[in-house]
Structure 1
Amino acid sequence: MRNRDAFSSCHPVINFFYFFLILLITMFCLHPAILGISLAGSVVYAVYLNGRKAVRFSLAFLLPMMLLTLIINPAFNHQGITILAYLPTGNPLTLESILYGVSAAAMLAAVISWFSCYTAVMTSDKFVYLFGRVIPALSLVLSMTLRFVPKFKAQLHVVSEAQRCVGRDISDGGLLRRTRNAVTIFSIMVTWALENAIETADSMKSRGYGLPGRTAFSIYRFDERDKMILLWLCFCGGVLGWGALTGGLFWRYYPTIKGAPLTPMTGCILLCWAGLCLTPVAINVHADRVWHALHGEEAVR
C-alpha cells in the first residue's frame, strides 16, 4: 500500500535540489560508509513510497544487479597488490578488486533506487514549472519522456487486450502467427506514440507555450516549511562539501585500500549525510504523527 508522501508536497525547488545533492554525492564519492548510508536511505524511502512494490523491485532487480557487478569486476579488473588467489585464466584475484566491486554495486543500486524515488516525487508538471521558462522546448520533451513509459505500458495493455478479443493475441497460433500479431501490436503502438506526441506538441503550441511574456498559473508556494528545509539542505551540502575539500571523505581502492581515518570530523560528516538521506522519511514521519494527533483530538471531541 502506497503511503501519502509529505516530502512530495514541498516546493519543486526543494525536491529537485534534494535529489540533485543526493545523486551528486552518491555518484562521485567512493567512501564505503557514504555509499552504504545512501543505499539504505534510498531503499527505506522507496519502501515508504511504494510499499511492497519497492521490496519486490529490490529483490528482483537490485539484488541480482549488485551480485552481477560484484562478480564481473574481479573477473575483469585485476588491479591491487593483495592477491587472494589465481583465476583459471591465470589472472590474479585481488582483495582491492573485490571491494571495489562491492562499492560499484552499492553505488549503482543506490543511484537506481534514488532515481525510482525521483520519478515518484518529481512529476512532469514540477519539471515544467522549474524549467519551462528557462528551456521551454527541452523541458517539454523531458516531461513527455518521463511520462511516456507509464502511458506506453497502459496503452500497450489496452491494445493487447483488444487484439486478444479478436483472436490476434501473441500467444495464439504458431510461431509465424505470433510474430505477425506481435508486429501488428508494435505497429499500432508506434502509430499511437507518434500521434500522441504530435497532438501534445500542437496543443502546447496553440496555448502559446514557450512564447516570451506568457504567464502561467502555478499551485506551488514557497512557505516557511520550505525555507526551513532549504536551510537544512544548504547546511548539509556545505558540511559535505567542506568534508570533501578537506579530505574527510577521501577513499581509494587501488593500488592499496586507503581512506580518511575515522575522526570526530569524519563522524560528524557521516551523521550529517545520514540525516540528509533520511530527510524525506523524517518529514513523512513527522507529518504522520501530526495527522494522527489531530485525528486523535477530533475523536476525543
Structure 2
Amino acid sequence: MRNRDTFSSCHPVINFLYFALVLLVTMFCLHPVILGLSLAGGVVYAVYLNGRKAVRFSLAFLLPMMLLTLIINPAFNHQGITILTYLPTGNPLTLESILYGVSAAAMLAAVISWFSCYTAVMTSDKFVYLFGRVIPALSLVLSMTLRFVPKFKAQLHVVSEAQRCVGRDISDGGLLRRTRNAVTIFSIMVTWTLENAIETADSMKSRGYGLPGRTAFSIYRFDVRDRTILLWLCFCGLVLGCGAFTGCLSWRYYPTVKGALLTPLTACLLLCWTGLCLTPMAINIHADRTWRTLHGKEAAK
C-alpha cells in the first residue's frame, strides 16, 4: 500500500534540485559512508513510496545485482597491493578490488533506488512545467519517454486480456500457436505505440505547444515551505561542495585504500549528508504527525 508522500507536493523545482543533488553526490563520491547512507536513504524512501513493491524489487533485483557486481570486479580487476590469494587463472585476488566492488555495488544500487523515487515523484507534468519553455521539443520527448513504460504495461495487460477472451493468449495451444499469438500481441502493441505517439504529437501541436509567447496553466506555487526547503538544499549543497573541494570526503581504493581522516569537519559533512538523504522522510513524518494531531483534535470535539 502506497503512503501519502508530502514531499511530492512540493514545487517541481524543489523535487528536481533535490534528486539532482543527491544523485550527483552519490555518483561522484566514493566515500563508503556517503554511499552507505545514500543507499539506505534511497531504499527507505522507495519503500515508503511503493510499499511491498519496492521491497520485492530490492530483493529480486538490487541484491542480485549487487552480488553480481561484487563478484565481477575482483574477477576482472586485479589492481591493489594487498594480495589475498590467487585465482585459478593465475591472477591475484586483492583486497582493494573487493572493497572497490562493494563500493561500486552500493553506488549502483543507490542510484537505481533514487531513480525509482525520482520516477514516482517527478511526474511528466512536472518535467514539462520545468523545461517546457526552455527546451519544448526535448521536454516533450522526455516526458513521453518517462510515461511510456507504465502506459505500455497497462495497455499490454488490456490487450492480453482481450486476446485471452477470444482464445488467442500466449498460454493457449502448442508452441507454434503460442508463438503466433505472442507475435500478434506484439504487433498490436507496436501499432498502438506508433498511433499513441502520433496522436500525442498532433494534440500538442494543435494546442500551440512550443510557440513563442504561449501561456500555460500551472497549479504549482512557490510557497513558504518551498523557500525553506530550497534554503536547506542550498545549504547542504554548499557544505558538501566545500567538503569535496577541501578533500574532506576524498577516498581512493587503488593502489591502497586511503581516505580522509575522521575529523570534526568530516563528521559535520556526514551529518549534513544524512539529513539531506532523510529530508523527504522527515517532511513526510512531520506531515503525518501534524495530520494525526489535527485529526485527534477534530475527533475530540
Could you state the TM-score of these two structures normalised by the residue count of structure 1?
A: 0.99
Q: Which runs of 5+ in 2 are unaligned?
A: none
Provide the rounded CA distance (Å) in 1 between the counterparts of 2:80 and 2:147. 44
Deviations for 1:19-62, whole angstroms, at most 9, x for unmatched residues?
Answer: 00000000000000000000000011111111111111111110
User: Is 1:136 aligned with 2:163?
Assistant: no
- Counterpart of 2:184? 184
Provide the rounded CA distance (Å) in 2 between the counterparts of 1:294 and 1:177. 60
Provide the rounded CA distance (Å) in 2 between the counterparts of 1:47 and 1:133. 34
- Counterpart of 1:36? 36
Deviation (angstroms), 1:172 = 1.5
CA RMSD of aligned residues (A): 0.5
Provide the rounded CA distance (Å) in 2 between the counterparts of 1:57 and 1:204. 35
- Counterpart of 1:219? 219
- Counterpart of 1:235? 235
Provide the rounded CA distance (Å) in 2 between the counterparts of 1:133 and 1:84. 57
Provide the rounded CA distance (Å) in 2 between the counterparts of 1:190 and 1:223. 43
Deviations for 1:43-96, whole angstroms, at most 9, x for unmatched residues?
Answer: 111111111111111111101100000000000000000000100111000000
- Counterpart of 1:210? 210
Provide the rounded CA distance (Å) in 2 between the counterparts of 1:39 and 1:198. 39
Q: Which runs of 5+ in 1 are unaligned?
A: none
Question: What amino acid maps onto 1:104 in structure 2?
Answer: A
Provide the rounded CA distance (Å) in 2 between the counterparts of 1:168 and 1:300. 59
- Counterpart of 1:107? 107
Deviations for 1:243-282, whole angstroms, at most 9, x for unmatched residues?
Answer: 0000001000000000000000000000000000000000
User: Is 1:145 aligned with 2:119?
Assistant: no
Deviation (angstroms), 1:132 = 0.2
Give structure 1 regions of 4+ aligned residues with deviation exceeding 6 angstroms.
none
What pairs with 1:16-31 in structure 2 (closer than 5 Å)?
16-31=16-31
Question: What amino acid maps onto 1:139 in structure 2?
Answer: S
Provide the rounded CA distance (Å) in 2 between the counterparts of 1:82 and 1:172. 58
Provide the rounded CA distance (Å) in 2 between the counterparts of 1:164 and 1:237. 53
Deviations for 1:83-140, whole angstroms, at most 9, x for unmatched residues?
Answer: 0010011100000000000000000000000000000000000000000000001100
- Counterpart of 1:257? 257
Deviation (angstroms), 1:173 = 1.7
Identity of aligned residues (%): 89
Deviation (angstroms), 1:177 = 1.3
